[in-house]
Amino acid sequence: MAQTYYMVPAERIQIANDQETISLGGKTLRFVEAPMLHWPETMFTYLQENRTLFPCDFFGSHVAKGLYDDEVEDLLVHAQRYWGEIMMPFRTMAQKALEKIKKLEIDIIAPSHGPIHRNTERILEAYEKWAKGETKQKATIVYATMWNNTEKMIHPIAETLASEGIETALYNLAFADIGDLTKDLVDSRAIVLGAPTVLGGAHPLAVYATYLVKALRPPLKFGVVLSSYGWGGGALKHVQEILGSSKIEVVGAMEINGPPTEGNIKQIVEFGKMLARKIKEQV
């Protein structure tokens, strides 16, 4: 990578293996291999004398204000968003790295993005949870809509979930910040996706959101897909194709012509109740 990106000549490169140390004179660097967090060559560096870990992007956040973690309001929210955007697909590698650094005594974690953690316990606890894929009784609800028909299907399920005591995060994809959506996927147990038909498939924004779910691999357990079409439909099939062999159990799927009827709404409310039950039963 150093050669490819920065044209560092081979003779200037010294390869450090896992757990190898290099003395700089009074300061000792220990190297800890932590591959795929989030590039193949990721390696943490531990500065022994200062009990400081430089973990590359791990424990990072996309925030450029505040030198230390306690100087940034809601830092954990930023860190959760960063986890979702960058680290979530690599949960297994993250678990391995967390296990490895347990042996180190760490006072400071200084990632390459975002503030330095001097409250190391807080971020380590959060990472333990996220890496294990611990979820809350929470559903993320995302939808696209052109003429509000899909939106009319989304509202009753959102209301049902909320009245069943499920935490909900609702996103109209036309206005949503995709990073915010990703942050909510980190600890959601379920997703509700609203996707109207456009040109025989799902609306492009719904395709985008579905693809993100597939690529980022959030620890979602359950899903509901709701769709409205004008003549031939196709969005439901398209969404299912993108999700492919994902482990999400689809609790309910509905594709209707035009706006929802009273009967459709009743069935959507039933989907909501069933989804809430599944979310609550899952530990």
Among 49, 67, 99, 200, binds ligand FMN (CB under 6 A): 200
When asked if residue 204 is in the footprint of ligand FMN (CB under 6 A), the reply is: no
Residues 131-160 that bind ligand FMN (CB under 6 A): 145-150
When asked if residue 171 is in the footprint of ligand FMN (CB under 6 A), the reply is: no
Q: How far apart are CA 107 and CA 117, in angstroms?
A: 9
Q: Which of 98/254 has CB closer to ligand FMN?
A: 254
Q: Which of 92/261 has CB closer to ligand FMN?
A: 261
**Shortest spacing between CB 243 and ligand FMN, in angstroms:** 20
Query: Please, what sign has the CA dihedral across residues 213, 217, 218, 221?
Result: positive
When asked if residue 115 is in the footprint of ligand FMN (CB under 6 A), the reply is: no
Number of residues counted as binding ligand FMN (CB under 6 A): 18
**Shortest spacing between CB 174 and ligand FMN, in angstroms:** 10
- Best CA proximity match to 140, nearest among 85, 107, 184, 89: 184
- Is 200 within 8 Å of 228 (Cβ atoms)? no
Q: Which of 151/187 has CB closer to ligand FMN?
A: 151
Q: Which of 93/202 has CB closer to ligand FMN?
A: 202
**Shortest spacing between CB 236 and ligand FMN, in angstroms:** 11
- Is 223 within 8 Å of 249 (Cβ atoms)? yes
Site string for ligand FMN, 227-246 (x = CB under 6 A): -xxxxxx-------------
**Shortest spacing between CB 155 and ligand FMN, in angstroms:** 12
**Shortest spacing between CB 192 and ligand FMN, in angstroms:** 14
What does the block give as tokens for 248? 């999400």
Query: Given the rule CB under 6 A, which residues bind ligand FMN?
Result: 145-150, 196-200, 228-233, 258
